A and B are shown apart, each in its own frame.
Chain A
Amino acid sequence: MVTDRSALRSIRVVEAGTQTTIQDTGRPGLAHLGVPRSGWLDDNAARLANRLVGNAEDLPVLECLLGGLVVEPATSTTVAVTGAECEVRAGGRAVAHGAPVVVRAGEQLSVGAARGGARCYLAVAGGIAVDPVLGSCATDTLSGTGPEVVQPGTVIPVGPARGTPAGEGQQLSAWHAGPRVLRCWPGPRADWFTDEALTTLATSSYVVHPDSDRVGLRLSGPPLERSVEGELPSEGIVLGAVQVPGDGRPLVFLSDHPTTGGYPVVAVVDPRDLSVCAQLRPGDEVRFRPLAPRDAAG
């Protein structure tokens, strides 16, 4: 819905790349009703983008997979792009990544293809101002809750800018080159796996599969053998859960994960490393580093 106010303050999406969604901190607290948490995948990068344009940290932003996003603000607007490394242009001129940028009325802001990392965040001064669903503006790609996935031609309302854009020199977000390491806790069903499987998980390298999405990071690598067979009665799933489906290949659940599941969870990625998960791209290598012995649960 376009309101009078948003007709003034809005951005029009010219190109949406592979997948662009509106995201905020999501809908935690509704998992008992089967509603995924959703929300941005890279918390560090999204909050940084908001700070850079002078927003409260939790305002909705655009999350863009692998870059390729082009937007055109209706009025002169301060924006910031964070997350995956990419070329940023405003009105055709190269501008800084990870810094506030003024885009004048009639100019386009383009986010180039991601060269390192997977997800770019675009914050707009005033924040994306669509109607929340169940308390959040996040698009949940699993259940379809929240706004539709952003398409070219979409006009997105923007709220009134209140804060002062922050200076440059902020920390860039958590993607980095080289093998990535995910610190992890024992999962609720670590004891459903053989000792060899737990050693395999802790010592092997896994490769991010192209089927990875906002629901989960699917991994190729040595399968994990179970010591307990049979079906697990459905149980609640946490963000970062490393679930092992029938083929033995682990998958790391991200923001749009289902709320319950019937496959055992062998480990849980430490919340501090979820931003790393957000920035892994197909083909990237990743390792798990256990934080505590498997019997920590007592």
Chain B
Amino acid sequence: MRVRTAGPRAWVVEVGSAAEAAGLYAVTRSAGLELTDLVPGARSVLFDGLEREALDDFLSDVDISSLQGAREQGELVEVPTTYDGPDLADVAALWGMSVEEAVDRHTGTEFVVAFCGFSPGFAYCTGLPQELAVPRLDTPRTKVPPGSVGVAGEFTGVYPRSSPGGWRLVGRTRARLWDAGSVTPALLAPGTRVRFTAVSDGD
């Protein structure tokens, strides 16, 4: 772990992998450490709003080797998905397999939300191996419909609302990703385990 300064009372704790970042986030959340914001990233966790001493005290009790496993504890959410996205065939080709195999691969993977960003409730789900990482579209779409399921890099994500976007779209879901009126506004919060299940249109 490496602690990087991000202001007088904020620290980016850098770790070695996405799994360790998710684990450190989960361990910190459950420890109830007092701070303003705790923000997981792809290889780091931002601790915002505490003194360096308090951070060091906390981190000295964290066992790095246990972090990989800490992320397995999250709630499991199923996201029913119709796999008919405009980029599905391209993604299958990039993966070197048929469309059917690509869908099987995606539905057969248990994902974990590593972090959120881009827009409220937009979850970066990890689980696909690095060799299936795909580049973003060269030219992002100006409008991606809400519920679109996309892949980019090593991540899978679902657009909570209509927005521009450069992820390759493999399908769509009717699941409600974001509800600002709810006490748990994000369906897919960091640490949540996710399974995409194939459904036919209209289910």
* A interface with B by C-beta (< 8 Å): 28-35, 37, 133-134, 143, 145, 185-189, 233-238, 240-241, 258-261, 265, 268, 270-271, 292, 296-298
Contacts and interface: CB of A to CB of B under 8 A. Distances in A.
Contacts of B115: 32, 234, 260
Contacts of B158: none
A238 B6 contact: yes
Nearest to A268: B7
Contacts of A241: 6-7
Given A31-B37, A235-B41, A271-B7, 9 more contacts: A32-B189, A32-B190, A33-B189, A143-B119, A143-B120, A185-B7, A260-B41, A296-B5, A298-B3
Contacts of B37: 28-32, 37, 236
B12 A258 contact: no
A234 B6 contact: no
B122 A233 contact: no
A259 B40 contact: no
A298 B25 CA distance: 22
B48 interface: yes
Interface residues of B, number: 37
Given A235-B44, A271-B7, A133 B36 contact: no
Contact of A34 (B5, B10, B38, B117): B117
B10 A238 contact: yes
Contacts of B116: 32-34, 259-260
* Prevailing SS type, chain A contact patch: loop
B48 A238 contact: yes
A34 B120 contact: yes
A297 B121 contact: no
A165 B194 CA distance: 53
Nearest to B35: A29
Contact of A233 (B5, B6, B42): B42
The 10 A-B residue pairs with the shortest CB-CB distance, nearest first, are: A236-B46, A236-B39, A260-B117, A233-B42, A235-B41, A34-B116, A188-B4, A297-B5, A268-B7, A188-B12
A234 B48 contact: no
Contacts of A28: 36-37, 49
